[in-house]
Structure 1
Amino acid sequence: MNSVTKRLRKLYADGREFVWTSQIHHVTGTDCHKCTRLRVWGAGKNSRVLQADLVSKAVLPWGCATDGSHPTPKDVRTVIDYALTHGWDPDLPRGTFLLTESEHASAFELPGFLLTDRLRDEGAPDPTPRVFRAFDENPGR
């Protein structure tokens, strides 16, 4: 199940306009998890796009269909800042810069989300153990 949010949103950071959009998906493993595919452009529609698949840390008794988690503009800014310091050059033409679980998960995390590769690759690690661990480590939930 997925729904597409076509609306482009704008975010201004360090004198530059970034445009971003998101798509809501679900990824499965031992459990079902809401996953948001975030895509960001920093130099127009033909520039190198930044992509991050963010799995929600929410653990709900009714399943992922009731998870209302969605990245905020602050979350998007955090993703942009991290990507810029880890090799994303938004001025390059075309292509995709991926923030992947396999390369970046040990160094990057948002308060409500974890990076996952499961949306792009069904053979990637099940996100459920990481989601449960993150949920258990957050006493303020």
Structure 2
Amino acid sequence: MRARLRRIHIDGHTFTWRAALHTVQVNGFYRRAVHVRAWGPGGKTSQKLEADLLSAPGPYVVDNGYPTPADVRAVIVCGLKSGWQPEQRGGTFVLSDREHGANFAATGFQLTDPVRPGESGPTTHEARQRG
């Protein structure tokens, strides 16, 4: 089954996005992870934005909901503030907690360094919180 591409309008510009859900184990606990991709007005030929999000901290994955438009808006706005150039042709701009976490704010999610299913270990965000 193909992932559905969705559209969002921000400040007069149309962005196309999609998200893939999975879970990762972090310090022995399972967390919902979302891999978000977005493209600018040029579609898939424009520079792609990628971000990995983790659900808010908790002992178990309790939901499997898709990110809301507000969550995706937060990813895109963070990308734009951090130097993503959606009008540029080709390439990928990756958001990571280490480099861009200070510009990211979404309810229920935290930006993390890129993760893939099966990976584990503390995120940069969690390591900073511990000191």
TM range (shorter): 0.7 to 0.9
**Partner SS state of residue 74, structure 2:** helix
| Counterpart position of 2:22 | 25
Equivalent runs, 1:1-141 vs 2, <5 Å: 6-30=3-27, 31-42=29-40, 43-60=42-59, 63-64=60-61, 66-119=62-115, 122=119, 126-127=122-123, 130=126
Report the TM-score when normalising by structure 1.
0.76
Deviation at 1:129, TM superposition (A): 7.9
Moved over 4 A (4+): none
Using a 3 Å threshold, how does the CA distance of structure 1 residues 15 and 129 change in structure 2: closer, same or farther? Answer: closer
CA-based RMSD:
2.7
**Which residues of structure 1 form unaligned runs of 5+?**
134-141
Report the TM-score when normalising by structure 2.
0.81
Letter in 1 for 2:47: R
Percentage of pairs with the same residue: 39
Supply the distance in 2 between the matched residues of 1:128 and 1:47 (Cα, whole angstroms). Answer: 29
Contact 1:118 1:126 in 2 (8 A): no
| 9-18 vs 48-57, which moves further | 9-18
Q: How many residues align?
A: 125
Letter in 2 for 1:46: T
Using a 3 Å threshold, how does the CA distance of structure 1 residues 54 and 89 change in structure 2: closer, same or farther? Answer: same
Using a 3 Å threshold, how does the CA distance of structure 1 residues 14 and 69 change in structure 2: closer, same or farther? Answer: same
**Which residues of structure 2 form unaligned runs of 5+?**
none
Using a 3 Å threshold, how does the CA distance of structure 1 residues 14 and 127 change in structure 2: closer, same or farther? Answer: same
Supply the distance in 2 between the matched residues of 1:103 and 1:69 (Cα, whole angstroms). Answer: 27
Higher relative contact order (CA 8 A, sep 6+): 2
